[in-house]
Structure 1
Amino acid sequence: MFVRKFATALTFAVATAGVALAQSPTRIQQFNAWGAYSYQANNSKVCYVLSVPKEKAPAGVDHGDIFFLVSQRPGQNISYEPQAMMGYPLQENSKVNVVIDGRTFVMFTKGNSAWVENAAEEPALVAAMKTGKDMSVKATSRRGTGTSYSYSLSGISAALKQIETCK
């Protein structure tokens, strides 16, 4: 089931990237809760690590496919960009909060995705992910439903190291 979720995640992540692909994404390696992937887009390589939540709340709500990823796009000068992807549209002008070991990182929303509001904090979020044990993500759907997701950070450091030299 875990592999099936990652296959779905991979397809979803690529489909929502909005980039013309020359080839399908390839899973490089799985590191506990995190997988490392790559694909070619517009004559450059894109690499990313991705995980699915281990817990979703509230129960009884159709959350759809939920992912958290960190991407490297050397051809666009983007390095270690965190992104939350939801299986539903997020409330317009809402914020998504990522909490690791008591530290909160705020993300802005667009459609079904969220990115770090202050890009200068991206390295701090990635560093917290590497040293933390668990991560929670809290969001609000377009319908106003508050949601939360719990992620394991087991394997994130090894997965990020795997895409370190993405070129």
Structure 2
Amino acid sequence: MFVRKLNLALALVLAFAGVASAQSPTRIQQFNAWGAYSYQAGAGKVCYVLSVPKEKSPANVDHGDIFFLVSQRPGQNISYEPQAMMGYPLQENSKVTVTIDAKNFVMFTKGNSAWVENAAEEPALVAAMKTGKAMSVAAKSRKGTPTAYSYSLSGISAALKQIETCK
């Protein structure tokens, strides 16, 4: 089931990245809860790490497939860009909050995805993921339903190290 979800995630990442000419992603290696992946897109390579939540709430709603990823696109000068991908449309103009231990990071939303509102905070979020004990993501669906997800940070440092030299 986990592998099937990750394969779906790979397809979704490509679709949302607008990569029509990309090759299918290749899983480089799995590091506990985090997998490292890469694919060729045009003239450049894209690498990313991805995980699925270990818990979702509320339990009585269909969340669809939920992912958190950190991508690296050297050809576009993008390094370690965190993104939350939901299996449903997010409420327009809402914010997604990522909490690692006691530190909050705010993300802006578009469609079913969210990115760090202040790009200067991306390195701090990634650093917190590497050293943190617990990560949660809180969002609001287009219908107004508050949702929350908890992720394991086990393996994130090794997975990020694996894509460090993406070229």
By the TM > 0.5 criterion, same fold?
yes
Cα shift readout 1:140-161 (whole Å, capped 9, x = no counterpart)? 0000000000000000000000
Corresponding position: 1:137 with 2:125: no
Per mean C-alpha deviation after superposition, the further-off stretch among 45-54 and 6-15 is 6-15
Answer whether contact 2:14 2:22 (CA < 8 A) is retained: no
Equivalence for 2:127: 127
One-letter amino acid of the structure 2 residue matched with residue 37 of structure 1: Y
How many positions carry a matched residue from both structures? Answer: 167
Equivalence for 1:23: 23
Per mean C-alpha deviation after superposition, the further-off stretch among 22-31 and 47-56 is 22-31
Q: Which ranges of structure 2 fall in alignment gaps of 5 or more residues? A: none
User: TM-score, normalised to structure 2's length?
Assistant: 0.98
Equivalence for 1:4: 4
For the residue of structure 2 that corresponds to 1:69, the secondary structure is strand
Q: Percent identity?
A: 85
Corresponding position: 1:153 with 2:136: no
Paired with 1:22 and 1:91, the residues of 2 have a C-alpha distance of 30
Answer whether contact 1:20 1:42 (CA < 8 A) is retained: no
Deviating above 4 A after TM superposition, structure 1's stretches of 4 or more consecutive aligned residues are: none
For the residue of structure 2 that corresponds to 1:27, the secondary structure is strand
Paired with 2:22 and 2:136, the residues of 1 have a C-alpha distance of 34
| 1:95-106 matched pairs, under 5 angstroms | 95-106=95-106
Equivalence for 2:52: 52
Task: State the Cα distance separating 1:133 from its structure 2 match.
Answer: 1.8
